């Protein structure tokens, strides 16, 4: 048993090694890649989606990738795994069978997607890890800065409420975004420093199972009751995402609390409407349209034989506000490793484009309208004309 497992590890390592070399410039004699390099116009870009149940993938990401690819003369094909890891492996095989030259992968399970990477590596197809990290040095990782989301949330909140009593509402404790990335973003913005200096007092700090709105609401109501019993007034709520922020706002309303600043991220319709109504202070928005464009352009460049490390985002393709802080050329990104802990020795380095999220408050809601994310009718539904933000007037 043990030797066999060892052999399997060796095998996997060998394949990984092969994957690395095939992605490096010296490996251009690989048949798939040389064919692609000779004629970028024949480039077939395949996308394996993990689900279309969340509307954003089909509504925002897919059309942008497709348009970018087709504008560059390529062909777009895709498959939807419907939240099934095994289905996704089948999808990848069939996409490669259909002649994919580049594979864009939104992994259902970042650990379970390993065999799909092997299949792609064997066929000499470079892989783009789209929005969700795959722990493998051979991939190009395209996403929004998740630590940056937390930083943007906290920075916006500290501008509104620089000191006072804060409640922290975190997401599912099993999600590294909830337990690691977002809180470290908060700390980068100075949360821990403010706690240490006594500027900010944490009234309560709660995780929310499965990011559930109902759970967040129940917890927040109990926190308000508890604070009321202590005679403590809550000044602001740092909520990690929009589904929990929605529960927080409902709890504040049920308790008749005067609106206090609440944070969130995702750009969900209901939350942006709350921003317009003044019920949520900031919603950190990751414009999936821009992410799709970057992935489409990168796929075409990979097709043309460009080395991953020297990929650049074409000038003017994306909005400057979301451009990576590292510039338009691909940068190295150190992953947290399979254990999710930074600096624990199991990290790997991937090539990446890390886009910047945009904090949306009542002041810059027009960005939402300009990008076509929401129409004015939807965004401003039920907004009181007297107190309406500029975007709704």
Partner 1 sequence: MADALTGAPAPTQEANRDSHRIRGALAATEIDLRLFGMLIALAGILFGFHIMSGGKLVQPANMVTLVVQASGVAIMATGMVLIIVSRNIDLSVGSIVGVVAMSYALLMTDWLPALGIGLDSPLQWLVALAIGLGIGALIGGFQGFLIAYVGIPSFIVTLGGLLSLRGSVWLLSSGAAVSGLQTEFRKIGGGVLGSIGETATWAVAGVACIAIIGLIVYNRRQRRRFGFPVRPMWAEVLLGAIGCAAAIGLSAFANSSYLPAGLATQYAVEHGITEPPGGLKVPLGFPWPILLVIGVTLAMTFLATRRRFGRYVYAYGGNPDAAELAGINTRWTIMKTFILMGVLCAIAAAIGSARLNGATLDVGQSDELYVIAAAVVGGTSFAGGIGTIPGAVLGAFVMQSLAYGLSFNGVNSPTQNVVAGIVLIIAVGLDTYNRRRGSTR
**Residue 80 within binding range of partner 1, rule CB under 8 A:** no
C-alpha 133/C-alpha 350 separation (Å) is 10
**Residue 87 within binding range of partner 1, rule CB under 8 A:** no
Closer CB to partner 1, residue 22 or residue 215? 215
Is the separation of the CB atoms in 156 and 359 below 8 Å? yes
Member of 228, 325, 334, 387 binding partner 1 (CB under 8 A): 228
**Residue 44 within binding range of partner 1, rule CB under 8 A:** no
Closer CB to partner 1, residue 26 or residue 372? 372
Q: From the CB of 271, what's the least distance to partner 1, in Å?
A: 8
Member of 26, 31, 198, 229 binding partner 1 (CB under 8 A): 229
Closer CB to partner 1, residue 35 or residue 369? 369
Member of 70, 193, 205, 339 binding partner 1 (CB under 8 A): 205
Q: How far apart are the first and last CA of the chain?
A: 70
C-alpha 59/C-alpha 55 separation (Å) is 6
φ/ψ of residue 79, rounded to 5: -150, 150
Q: From the CB of 130, what's the least distance to partner 1, in Å?
A: 19
**Residue 325 within binding range of partner 1, rule CB under 8 A:** no
Is the separation of the CB atoms in 247 and 272 below 8 Å? no
**Residue 219 within binding range of partner 1, rule CB under 8 A:** yes
> Using a CB cutoff of 8 Å and minimum separation of 24, what contacts does 65-69 make?
65/104, 65/292, 65/293, 65/295, 65/296, 65/299, 66/296, 67/296, 68/292, 68/293, 68/295, 68/296, 68/297, 68/300, 68/317, 69/43, 69/45, 69/296, 69/299, 69/300
**Residue 10 within binding range of partner 1, rule CB under 8 A:** no
Q: Which residues contact 264 (CB under 8 A, 6 or more apart)?
A: 153, 239, 240, 241, 242, 244, 245, 246, 271, 280, 282, 283, 284
Question: Buried b / exposed e across 298-313, counting CB within 10 Å, b at 16+?
Answer: bbbbbbbebebeebeb
Site stretch for partner 1 (CB under 8 A), options 61-69, 158-166, 211-219, 364-372: 211-219
Member of 72, 247, 264, 296 binding partner 1 (CB under 8 A): 247
**Residue 183 within binding range of partner 1, rule CB under 8 A:** no
Q: Which of residues 262-291 bind partner 1 (CB under 8 A)?
A: 268-271, 273-274
Q: What is the largest CA-CA distance in the chain?
A: 74
Member of 103, 113, 156, 246 binding partner 1 (CB under 8 A): 246
**Residue 217 within binding range of partner 1, rule CB under 8 A:** yes
Is the separation of the CB atoms in 347 and 365 below 8 Å? no
Member of 70, 159, 193, 225 binding partner 1 (CB under 8 A): 225
**Residue 215 within binding range of partner 1, rule CB under 8 A:** yes
Closer CB to partner 1, residue 179 or residue 348? 179
Helix, strand or coil, per DSSP, at residue 1 = coil
Member of 20, 367, 381, 388 binding partner 1 (CB under 8 A): 381
Q: How far is CA 120 from CA 103, 294, 338, in A?
A: 8, 21, 21
**Residue 187 within binding range of partner 1, rule CB under 8 A:** no
Which residues would be at the binding site for partner 1 (CB under 8 A)? 53-55, 173, 204-210, 212-215, 217-219, 221-223, 225-226, 228-230, 243, 246-247, 250, 253-258, 268-271, 273-274, 381-382
């Amino acid at each position: 048993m043990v030797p066999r497992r060892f052999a399997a590890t060796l095998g996997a390592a060998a394949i990984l090694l092969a994957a690395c070399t095939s992605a490096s410039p010296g490996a251009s004699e690989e048949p798939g890649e040389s064919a692609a390099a000779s004629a970028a116009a024949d480039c077939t870009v395949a996308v394996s989606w993990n689900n279309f149940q969340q509307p954003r993938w089909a509504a925002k990401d897919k059309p942008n990738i497709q348009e970018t690819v087709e504008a560059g003369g390529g062909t777009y094909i895709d498959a939807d795994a419907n939240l099934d890891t095994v289905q996704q492996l089948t999808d990848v095989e069939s996409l490669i069978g259909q002649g994919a030259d580049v594979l864009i992968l939104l992994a259902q399970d970042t650990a379970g997607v390993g065999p799909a990477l092997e299949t792609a590596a064997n066929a000499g197809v470079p892989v783009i890890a789209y929005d969700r990290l795959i722990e493998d040095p051979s991939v190009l990782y395209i996403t929004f800065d998740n630590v940056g989301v937390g930083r943007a949330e906290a920075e916006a909140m500290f501008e509104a409420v620089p000191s006072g009593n804060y409640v922290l509402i975190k997401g599912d404790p099993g999600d590294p975004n909830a337990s690691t990335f977002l809180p470290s973003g908060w700390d980068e913005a100075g949360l821990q420093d403010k706690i240490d200096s006594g500027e900010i007092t944490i009234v309560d700090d709660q995780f929310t199972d499965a990011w559930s709105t109902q759970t967040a609401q129940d917890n927040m109501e109990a926190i308000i009751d508890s604070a009321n019993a202590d005679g403590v007034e809550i000044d602001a709520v740092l909520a990690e995402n929009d589904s929990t922020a929605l529960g927080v706002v409902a709890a504040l309303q049920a308790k008749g609390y005067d609106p206090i600043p609440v944070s969130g991220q995702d750009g969900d319709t209901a939350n942006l409407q709350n921003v317009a109504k003044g019920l949520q202070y900031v919603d950190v928005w990751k414009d999936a349209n821009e992410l799709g464009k970057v992935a489409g352009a990168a796929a075409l460049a990979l097709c043309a034989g460009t080395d991953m490390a020297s990929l650049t985002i074409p000038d003017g393709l994306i909005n400057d506000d979301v451009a990576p802080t590292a510039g338009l050329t691909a940068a190295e990104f150190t992953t947290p490793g399979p254990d999710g802990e930074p600096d624990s020795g199991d990290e790997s380095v991937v090539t990446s484009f890390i886009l910047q999220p945009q904090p949306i408050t009542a002041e810059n809601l027009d960005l939402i309208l300009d990008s076509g994310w929401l129409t004015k009718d939807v965004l401003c539904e039920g907004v009181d004309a007297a107190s309406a933000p500029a975007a709704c007037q």
